[in-house]
Amino acid sequence: MTEKILNILTTYKSSINIRDDYLDTEKLNSFIPTSHNVELLEEYFEVVLNRQQKSILLSGAYGTGKSYLISILIGLLAGKFNSNKIDVLLKKIELFSPHFTNKLKAERNKKYLIVFPKDVFKDFKQGISLGIKEAIKENNIELEDSSIHKAMKNKIQDWEVNHKIFFQTLKKCLKGKNICIKNFYQQIDEFSPQAFKIFEDLYPKVMGGERFFPENAISTVPELLDAFEKAALNKKYDGVLYDQKIVQMFVA
């Protein structure tokens, strides 16, 4: 008799992992909205869609549903679902805001690339670089040629000034291909695809097996983000969203 009255949610667990749960349709459909969190969702949704230049701080005690709310937000913005897959969630939201539900359905073709910076590092650039590298691999993103070649040149120039052994090893490897360093620099400046293939092949020989990832070689974080976001737009994404841990990682 009890089984006919109560329906135990199989999706329940003590905490939410945003990366694991934001694409889980069962988790999204199990969300229990309130008028307050629907208002928050709508506000955040509008900030993203309208590209508003503002910051929003979401704070609350442990267990109040912050991560769940963010999972819902980026799940709606990731462009992975049609209305049928999350119809239960949409019906729940509609009880509080039919207007917002209609907007969600109208904007269902929007697609944002979600990046999860690695929060195991104290260095900001390293954390976000590895997050972007993972997003590049998972979503088949390619940085623009100009960014790649700029990263190559920055890396070689760094070797020339600060790591003479690496620079000499590169010159020796290039000589084996009948290429002098001056001509190789020229090929890089001309954005030659062949230059990148050569450097990608020689880099492990210079660095003891390590592979070359252009996103790690770009000199500054703004340059890295700019190059990556342009590449995402070229893949028809409407924008890039960085998980909120990017803020949590580096708060003193």
**What percentage of the chain carries pLDDT values higher than 70?**
87
Report whether 238 contacts 111 (CB < 8 A).
yes
pLDDT in tens, 60-119: 888 888 889 999 999 999 988 877 899 999 999 999 999 999 999 888 888 999 998 876
Provide the pLDDT for residue 204: 93
Which residues, listed in sequence order, are joined to residue 113 by a DSSP beta bridge? 240
Q: pLDDT tens for residues 161-202?
A: 999 999 999 999 999 999 999 999 999 888 888 898 999 999
Cβ atoms of 68 and 31 closer than 8 Å: yes
Residue 209's region, left for phi above 0, alpha for psi from -120 to 50, else beta, is left
- pLDDT band of 53, cuts 50, 70, 90: confident
pLDDT at residue number 55: 74
Exposure letters 68-101 (e unless 16+ CB within 10 A, then b) = bbbbbbbbbbbbebeeeebeebbebbbebbeebb
Q: Residue 84: what pLDDT?
A: 84
Share of the chain above pLDDT 90, in %: 40
Residue 137 has pLDDT above 90, yes or no: no
Distances (CA, A) of 226 to 33, 124, 142: 36, 16, 13
CA distance 242 to 112: 10
Query: How much is the pLDDT for 252?
Result: 30
Residue 241, beta-bridge partner list: 114
- State how far the Cα of 151 lies from the Cα of 204, in Å rounded to an integer: 16
pLDDT of residue 190: 83
Look up the pTM and report it.
0.68
Q: Which pLDDT does position 133 carry in this prediction?
A: 80
Looking at the predicted structure, is the pLDDT value of residue 19 above 70? yes
Cβ neighbours of residue 111 closer than 8 Å, sequence gap 6 or more:
78, 79, 236, 237, 238
The per-residue pLDDT for 3 is 54
Which residue pairs from 62-70 have beta carbons closer than 8 angstroms and sit at least 24 positions apart in sequence?
65/37, 67/15, 67/16, 67/17, 67/18, 68/16, 68/21, 68/31, 69/37, 69/40, 69/41, 70/18, 70/22, 70/243, 70/244
pLDDT of residue 159: 95
Q: Which amino acid is at 63?
A: G
203 compared with 250, residue with greater pLDDT: 203
Fill in the DSSP letter of residue 212.
P
Q: How confident is the model at residue 121 (pLDDT cuts 50, 70, 90)?
A: low
Q: Is 239 helix (H, G, I), strand (E, B) or coil?
A: strand
Please determine, for residue 246, whether its predicted confidence score (pLDDT) is greater than 50: no
What's the confidence (pLDDT) of residue 128? 80
Q: What is the mean pLDDT of residues 19-35?
A: 91
Q: What is the mean pLDDT of the chain?
A: 83
